[in-house]
């Protein structure tokens, strides 16, 4: 059984090669970098939409890429339960393609924020978090200007267990100083109701090797290891 | 019937429910500080000007409204679409 993962490359992506590197060389899974117009879902068991500035963030971050044929292909994967991860700009694309609900607005500070933050695991049953434990606190960097999560239907998100991560202090408390962009309820990442599609602003691919982490942590790896195990379970 | 060309101006305005830090900063750190505290409210948004062919003004508005809805030119969670002007070229 060979597992194949696609990392979609949109014009303006800049974290695509980081994701490919981690999947191939850290997690050790067969991974292809695929140009967005060439992506065919039938060849892949899972897909990553990486970070960057697809189509220059014109009109609204993620909206142009959301109309790419790659998203029509990914929609088939969404429906048949294969894992889909959107990181940063990838999260913005998943929101604009309506794979995930809500909106990502300009940071409350109006500044681009690039730093290591802590996120607390709220839902440990998704395709990308089932090897984590609820209430675990992960160290992961962020780098974005438009990451302020907003929804007009928070109740539904909570009732459906769609909040996956919240920004927190290192000891797991939700405080405004630990919320880097003013997200509603400190939300850092969410999933669809079926839990096979996750989007988050932090960058797990930048937190998967101890040499890159100020605290020598490798919490980002757990996202990708969870995905591989999720795929293995689906295939057996 | 011959089609005519229209200029349509639209604004995508942020809804009141979501905070609008761009507008808040303009009001607090520019207008109020420079003596324009008569301004009680600011909302920011985006502006697009389109030129298109249509049978008449009503058709032109309908085409643009449908296009904006179909393609999510505005995010309905946080933005409202306003047609602010339609003019025959």
B22, A110: Cβ pair inside 8 Å?
yes
pLDDT at A160: 98
Mean pLDDT for chain A overall: 97
Please report which confidence band the pLDDT of residue A73 belongs to, taking 50, 70 and 90 as the band edges. Answer: very high
For residues A79-108, give the mean pLDDT: 97
- Would you call A96 an interface residue with chain B, using a CB distance cutoff of 8 Å? yes
pLDDT, one tens digit per residue, over A153-164 is 999 999 999 999
Is the pLDDT at A1 greater than 80? The verdict is no
Backbone region of residue A45 per phi and psi (left: phi > 0; alpha: psi in -120 to 50; beta: other values):
alpha
- Closest chain A residue by Cα to residue B14: A105
Task: Check CB contact under 8 Å for A105 and B72.
Answer: no
Best residue of A60, A113, A176 to probe chain B, by most B CBs closer than 10 Å: A60
Give the mean pLDDT of A57-64.
95
CB nearest to B75's CB, from A103, A106, A108: A103
What is the pLDDT, as a whole number, of residue B14? 87
Q: How many CB pairs under 8 A join A and B?
A: 38
In 3D space, the residue among B52, B50, B51, B54 whose CA is nearest the CA of residue B1 turns out to be B54
Average pLDDT of the residues in A8-29: 97
CB of B47 closer than 8 Å to CB of B60: no
Cα–Cα distance for residue pair A8/A11, rounded to 1 Å = 10
Which residues of chain A make contact with B18, given a CB cutoff of 8 A? 103, 105, 150
In three-state secondary structure terms, A158 is helix
Residues of A in Cβ contact (< 8 Å) with B44: none
* CATH number of domain containing B81: 3.30.1280.10
Look at A108 and B77 and tell me if their CB atoms are within 8 Å.
no
**Chain A contacts of B21, Cβ < 8 Å?**
106-110, 182
Using alpha carbons, select from A144, A149, A139, A212 the residue that is nearest to residue A185.
Answer: A149
Six-digit token string for B39 = 């301004």
Sheet of A113-121: strands edge to edge? A30-35, A4-9, A46-49, A84-87, A197-200, A187-191, A163-168, A113-121, A137-144
In B, minimum Cα distance to A108 occurs at B21
Length of chain B equals 89
| Residue A105 sits at the chain B interface (C-beta within 8 Å) | yes
Mean pLDDT for each consecutive 10-residue tract of chain B (89 residues)? 92 88 93 95 94 96 96 93 95
> CATH fold of A4-235, please?
Rossmann fold (3.40.50)
Q: Which positions of A are annotated as active-site residues?
A: 88, 203, 205
Q: What is the pTM of this model?
A: 0.94
State the complex-level ipTM: 0.85
Predicted local distance difference test score (pLDDT) of residue A110: 93
Number of domains, chain B: 1
- Whether A101 sits inside 8 A of B77 (CB atoms) is yes
Q: Which residue has the higher pLDDT, A236 or A49?
A: A49
Contacting A residues, span 47-76, partner chain B, CB-CB under 8 Å: 59-60, 63, 66-67
Please indicate if any CB of chain A lies within 8 Å of the CB of B17.
yes
**Contact residues, chain B, for A183 at CB < 8 Å:** none
The 10s digit of each residue's pLDDT in A143-198 is 999 999 999 999 999 999 999 999 999 999 999 999 999 999 999 999 999 999 99
Choose the closest CB to B18 out of A98, A101, A150: A150
Contact A108 B25 (CB under 8 A): no
pLDDT at B17: 85
Q: Do B72 and A182 touch (CB under 8 A)?
A: no
* C-alpha span between A218 and B55 (Å, rounded): 61
Q: For position A153, what pLDDT does the model report?
A: 95
- Domain of residue B71 covers 4-88
Alpha-carbon torsion angle A206, A56, A167, A113, nearest 10: 80
- Say what the pLDDT of residue A138 is: 98
């Amino acid at each position: 059984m060979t597992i194949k993962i696609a990392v979609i490359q949109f014009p303006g992506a800049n974290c695509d090669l980081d994701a490919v590197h981690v999947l191939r060389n850290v997690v050790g899974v067969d991974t292809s970098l695929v140009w967005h117009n060439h992506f065919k879902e039938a060849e892949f068991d899972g897909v990553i939409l990486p970070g960057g500035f697809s189509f220059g963030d014109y009109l609204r971050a993620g909206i142009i890429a959301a109309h790419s044929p790659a998203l029509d292909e990914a929609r088939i994967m969404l429906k048949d339960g294969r894992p889909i991860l959107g990181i940063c700009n990838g999260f913005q694309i998943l929101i604009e393609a309506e794979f995930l609900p809500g909106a990502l607005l300009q940071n409350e500070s109006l500044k681009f924020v690039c730093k290591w933050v802590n996120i607390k695991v709220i839902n440990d049953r998704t395709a990308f978090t089932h090897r984590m434990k609820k209430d675990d606190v992960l160290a992961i960097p962020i780098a974005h200007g438009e990451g302020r999560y907003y929804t007009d239907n928070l109740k539904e998100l909570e009732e459906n267990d769609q909040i996956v991560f919240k920004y927190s202090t290192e000891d797991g408390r939700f405080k405004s100083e630990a919320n880097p962009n003013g997200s509603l309820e400190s939300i850092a990442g969410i999933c669809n109701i079926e839990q096979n599609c996750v989007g988050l602003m932090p960058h797990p691919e930048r937190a998967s090797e101890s040499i890159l982490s100020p605290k020598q942590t490798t919490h980002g790896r757990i996202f990708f290891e969870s995905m591989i195990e999720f795929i293995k379970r689906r295939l057996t | 019937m011959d089609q005519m060309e229209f200029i349509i101006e639209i604004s995508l305005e942020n809804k009141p429910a979501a905070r609008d830090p761009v507008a808040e900063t303009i009001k607090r750190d520019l207008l109020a500080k420079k003596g324009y505290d008569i301004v009680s409210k600011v909302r920011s948004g985006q502006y697009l000007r389109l030129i298109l062919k249509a049978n008449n003004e009503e058709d032109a508005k309908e085409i643009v409204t449908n296009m904006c809805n179909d393609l999510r030119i505005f995010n309905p969670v946080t933005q409202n679409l306003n047609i602010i002007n339609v003019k025959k070229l």
